[in-house]
Amino acid sequence: MPLALSIIHSLENTVSNIAFLGLGNMGVRMCQHLLDAGHQVVVWNRTAARAKPLLSLGATMALTPKLAVANADVVFSMLRDDAASSEVWLHKQQGALMALKAEALAVECSTVSVGHFDKLVNRFEAYGRDIICAPVAGSLPQAEQKKLIFLVGASQAQLMRIQPLLNVMGAVVHHVGEGSSGVVLKLMVNSLLGVQVSLLAELLGFCEKFDVNPRKAMDILAQLPVVSPALASAAQGMLAKNFAPNFPIDLVAKDFKLLLADAGQAIKLPVTKSTGAVFTACCEKGGGDNITGVYKCYM
């Protein structure tokens, strides 16, 4: 066995002191897997009731992010957006950064902007602490089944340290590079999915206008290389009118805004901009649906 894999294998059986910040639908499931693997986990969430099922599995609840991380070797955060991430890590009184041990490693799993993550890195470095990014590809089913794909921006040494824990929560770990590289790739992943789903929604509406059965159309398209498994799955949800929010449409709109803000005026992204506008418009009509709820605009 190669040395790196041997080290990772040996670390997988080591119990870690972990703090987990943010217990949304994804965070709860990720944290549960860590507890099931026998790790000591302190949790924090803005709404404390979200922690209740985890407490029965052995988690400890902290009242603030600062208190949650005080004894942690590794700290994961899974938060909604830049603003939530900034508040949890950098708040002057209750933020996690100021309470981190010198040897602790912070892991930002949230979908945030490149600009925000770079700001976090600068603040952490100024305080002599380390943060890496490890956002995930996948939604609730993948989180439940430990099939998340982690997109890691870290040094090789940091990756080796964190990979055993990522393996507990997911199925694949990709080392994208260092710094914010994982954040860049995550925004690309979500934008690619959003563009495809939005286009499929309008094309299903197109075929209905010409009295072509959309289910039959999808049965044929799904056999062609132009349709990915993810798109075929999205089509099933659209045609079944199942819009339960595995990937809420308001978060899709948010991710497009993050990517466009990072691109600024220097990088031209006309398709991304147009698709982002579609999802923003859908949210304004009542955005509690899944990403597939964009189909309602064309039904």
Buried-state track 178-195, b at ≥16 Cβ within 10 A, e below 16: bbbbbbbbbbebbbebbb
Residues of the chain with pLDDT under 70: 1-13, 15, 287
| In contact, 36 and 60? CB cutoff 8 Å | no
- pLDDT for res 167: 97
- pLDDT for res 15: 66
- pLDDT for res 9: 45
- pLDDT for res 7: 44
- pLDDT for res 34: 97
Identity (one letter) of the amino acid at 29?
R
* Sign of the alpha-carbon dihedral angle for 47, 50, 54, 56: positive
The beta-carbon contacts of 145-151 under 8 Å, at least 24 apart in sequence, are 146/33, 146/170, 146/171, 147/171, 148/30, 148/172, 149/173, 149/174, 150/109, 150/174, 150/182, 151/176, 151/182, 151/185, 151/186, 151/189
Over residues 21-47, the pLDDT tens digits come to: 999 999 999 999 999 999 999 999 999
Over residues 211-252, the pLDDT tens digits come to: 999 999 999 999 999 999 999 999 999 999 999 989 999 999
- pLDDT for res 10: 41
The C-alpha atoms of residue 160 and residue 137 are separated, in whole angstroms, by 20
